[in-house]
Structure 1
Amino acid sequence: MKRSYTMFIILIVFLLFTTGCWNRRELNELAITLAIGLDRTKDGQYLVTAQVVNPGELATGKGGGGSGGSPTIIYQAKGKTVFEAIRKMTKESPRKIYPSHLRVLVIGESLAKKGIGKPLDLLSRDWELRSDFYIVVAKGMKAAEILKVPTSLEKIPANQIFDTLKVSATAWSATSFKSLDELISDIVSEGKQPVLTGIQADIKGDEETSLSKQNVEMIDPPALLRFNGLAVFNDDKLVGWLNEKQSKTYTVITNKEQSTVVNISCPKGGKAAYEVKKSSTKIKGKLKNGKPEIDLNIRVEGNLGEVECHIDLTKPETIEKLEKIYEKEAKKFFMNSIKQVQENEKVDIFGFGEAIHRADPEAWKKLKKDWDKHFEHLPVNIKVQGEIRNIGTVGNSFLEKIK
């Protein structure tokens, strides 16, 4: 009994010396960073750009509102490693760069072409960093140029990039968001290569005005950020870009499509807009006469969002005709896009290699060494099943009365 009592006293004393936040960080000591840009300089160093929140300009309420300055501040530094460059920023910043709330990582195209594996090592290794931020590639420009563009709807450009990408990937299948864990998984995966969304800064007129506070005070800003195409990687190196049709095909095949709009032909001419509400793709790999082959089964459900032709939607056979037309046109659309990727980029971004691996692990051991060559000539059989669930709140279009 005495021994137990003594141990209890010792435990209490020990706990008294272990309470408190030993690794606490005070907010007024941190430079909260919401976006980081990575570029490669001509001398082979990394140029790191940090978009840091200016808390004084984001204050709200009585006595708040700031002084009219910029809500974010840009800090830059060069280094032989990304870690070194970030630490060098303390030469300018009165606070230590704190990336735990990072929302966006922008990679310059020149760096992406040389390889993103090494700089990603820090981001995957740093215990202060969460992995739920989005990664994009600056198409035809530097990451630093992207992060310097002020935005209108969101005071903080990083938030606008993050939210726009999320909304666009949900409503328009030509864009796709990817986190750090997903990217690294694709890089190390056998039978699937990484893809990242591209971002550009459209600057019209005077660059000094476009990158100043005046940009957000105009109805038609001279500088806008927009997403454009998907960047294709071979391992960790950028090898090409997908156009919009190819990008849509990628999101459909990889089951990333949430919603989009597809224009389909009407039976007697004209167009109708098909709003995709649900999409699922099953990829099946197989060996036929000792050679790899892929079967794609694509199932799509959606609504008629717009009708610009003379058709009678009150008849079930009309809906069936539109569904058949969609299936035929979609199959041709997907097939052409896949062939273009096979001929131009020549790397498997769809995960066809993974499907072969699942179907026949022993055969995959022989195929994986030269999979890119096999992918170039890989037969892909596509079956599309499209369904129209709803035609909207009205039956036939008022265009019928005009007719």
Structure 2
Amino acid sequence: MKKICCSVICLMLVLLLTGCWDRNEINDYAFWIGSALDLSDSGKLEKSAQIAIPAEMNISKGGGGKGQRANIVVTATGSSILDLEQKIQDKLPRKVFLGHRRAIFIGEKMARKGLTDVMDQFTRNTDTRMRTDIFVVDNGKGKDVININSPFNPFSAIAAVDQDRFSRLGDTALRDVLLDVGRDGIRPTMPMIKISPKNKQEKHESFDVKSVAIFNKNLQMVGKVSERASLELFWIKGTLKNRFVTEETGQGSISMYESNLKRYVHTEFKNNKLKAHLKLVGTARLLENNTDIDLSVSAERIRLERKINEIKERQVEATIKKIQHKYGQDVFGFGEEFHREHPYYWKKIRNKWDQIFPTLEVSVDVKLKIQSTGDIGKPVPGIGERK
């Protein structure tokens, strides 16, 4: 009797089950991998989308080696981001899906005009991933990047994200930019990507990530710093974790791998004057010694450490002063430190910070410790004699 009752109950439960009447098959989606935002020649907003072609992905999984593309680029022109997304949708036989978007590329012309309207849409659209990486295209258009057929990845948008992480500049996501926009004591920055010209030996285009775009509080790009200054900017900001660097000591060059990079900031308000004390610390591993210094001798190593730290202090001070006097934007976050340490005084100066920052006095102290000098302390015989 119990078996019959259980069977009847199970049958009734089966009748209550329903099918997936509103399911969306994966074949119904067009996967949006990368976005590009530019100004058209007529001054209108132009949006381009890098859309995956699943049928070509297996053929092109080695990148663009055989010339096939695993994606298409669709472009539309209009007056708003949402309007452009709909126009792009109208050109596709599948429903666009933004969940896999990895990167957004903004043309420099548009970045200099301002990105307030663009960011407004990103904050309201629930389909937008906050971990999406964002770039400014150095002296170019965003769609130029997603049009590249990368030899390393079927999608140039993903290749750019990977390259950004290995370029020592870290990775800047949409979330990071929006957080900086919402604070008074720091101004946003974005890594800049530049398409490298091909030479006769190169079949495919590639790109470099070695500059940083500087924005004001209205999200208008006001300038950029490149090469070493861009790395120092992120160290001062506290986001740089490691880097390879070569220093000229006056006796030759020293190449090192610097890691565990951190920054500490202390601020003070005294005699109606604002000051910031910046301390940069880290450890270094010697990779190449092109001097006649014997680093197996402790006194020589300590002397070299002191010399390198003095050089770095001058370089960091020069980078801070350049950004203070040329761009006047606190991309380092000194204002946020004043906010934390002097909250009541900050209320009085927060709206004047752009005028105060260029006059801020910043002291710099670098404490980089050489922990490893390799298997030998002395340089290879003959190097000192070649100087």
| Structure 1 counterpart of 2:99, one-letter code | S
2:322 to 331, 340, 347: 340
Name which of structure 1's ranges 41-50 and 126-135 shifts more when overlaid on structure 2: 41-50
| Residue aligned with 1:149, SS | coil
1:250 aligns with 2:233: yes
Which structure 2 residues correspond to residues 199-238 of structure 1 after superposition, within 5 A? 199-204=193-198, 220-221=202-203, 223-235=205-217, 236-238=219-221
* Cα pair distance change 1:310/1:75, threshold 3 Å: same
**Contiguous gaps of at least 5 residues in structure 1:** 1-8, 170-174, 206-217
The residue that corresponds to 2:171 in the other structure is 177
Post-superposition Cα deviations, 1:122-178, rounded to whole Å, max 9, x if no partner, equal 222222232111100011111111211111122221121111111213xxxxx2421
- Cα distance change on mapping 1:37 and 1:188 into 2, 3 Å: same
Aligned to 2:183: 189
2-structure distance, mates of 1:315, 1:77? 65
Report the equivalent of 1:79: 78
Counterpart position of 1:264? 247
Looking at structure 1, the residues matched to 372 and 131 of structure 2 have their Cα atoms a distance apart, in angstroms, of 36
2: CA distance, partners of 1:258 / 1:98: 34
Deviations 1:65-124 (A, max 9, x none): 9x9731111111112111111111133222222111011100111211122121122222
How far 1:20 sits from its partner (Å)? 4.3
Q: Output the amino acid matched with 1:46.
A: L
Classify the secondary structure of the residue corresponding to 1:310. Answer: coil
Runs of 4+ aligned residues of structure 1 deviating over 4 Å after TM superposition are: 15-22, 400-403
Deviations 1:256-312 (A, max 9, x none): 11211232344x711111220221100111102122110101112111110111111
The one-character-per-residue Cα deviations of 1:311-335 (angstroms, maximum 9, x if unpaired) are: 1122111110111011100000000
Q: In 2, distance between residues paired with 1:130 and 1:348?
A: 27
Partners of 2:196 and 2:279 lie apart in 1 by 39
More moved, 116-125 vs 361-370: 116-125
Q: Does 1:316 align with 2:310?
A: no
SS in 2 for 1:47: strand
CA distance in 1, matches of 2:67, 2:368: 53
2:241 maps to a residue whose letter is Q
Q: Is the 8 A contact 2:59 2:68 kept in 1?
A: no
- RMSD of aligned alpha carbons: 2.5
Q: How many angstroms apart in 2 are the aligned matches of 1:16 and 1:344? A: 71
Structure 2 equivalent of residue 291 of structure 1? 273
- Unpaired segments ≥5 residues, structure 2: 1-8
> How many percent identity over aligned positions?
25
Contact 1:45 1:81 in 2 (8 A): no
Deviations 1:38-62, CA, capped at 9 Å, x for gaps: 112244432110011111111279x
Tell me if the contact between 1:200 and 1:225 (Cα under 8 Å) persists in the aligned partners.
yes
Give the SS at the match of 1:37.
strand
Q: Counterparts of 1:381 and 1:145 in 2: how far apart (Å)?
A: 42
Task: Indicate if the aligned counterparts of 2:151 and 2:204 stay in contact, CA closer than 8 A.
Answer: no
* Counterpart residue identity of residue 34, structure 1: I
Matched length: 370
Provide TM-score, normalisation by structure 2. Answer: 0.89
Q: CA deviation at 1:378?
A: 0.5
3-state SS of 1:399 partner: coil
Whole-Å separation in 1 of the counterparts to 2:48 and 2:97:
13
What SS class does the counterpart of residue 167 from structure 2 fall into? helix
Q: Is the 8 A contact 1:246 1:338 kept in 2?
A: no
Structure 2 CA distance, aligned partners of 1:233 and 1:401?
46
Report the Cα distance in structure 2 between the residues aligned to 1:341 and 1:391, rounded to whole angstroms: 34
TM-score, normalised to structure 1, is 0.85
Which of residues 347, 365, 370 in structure 1 aligns to 2:352? 370
Q: Contact 1:245/1:337 (CA < 8 Å) preserved in 2?
A: no
Equivalent of 2:264 in 271, 279, 282: 282
In 2 relative to 1, CA 402–200 (structure 1 residues): closer, same or farther, beyond 3 Å? closer
**CA separation of 1:359/1:96 partners in 2, compared to 1, >3 Å: closer, same or farther?**
same
C-alpha spacing 1:192/1:204, structure 2 compared with 1 (3 Å): same
Q: Which amino acid aligns with 2:228?
A: K
What corresponds to 1:211 in structure 2? none
How many Å separate the matches in 2 of 1:34 and 1:230? 23
Equivalent residues of 2:197, 2:205 under 8 A apart: yes
Q: Partners in 1 of 2:222 and 2:21 — Cα distance?
A: 47
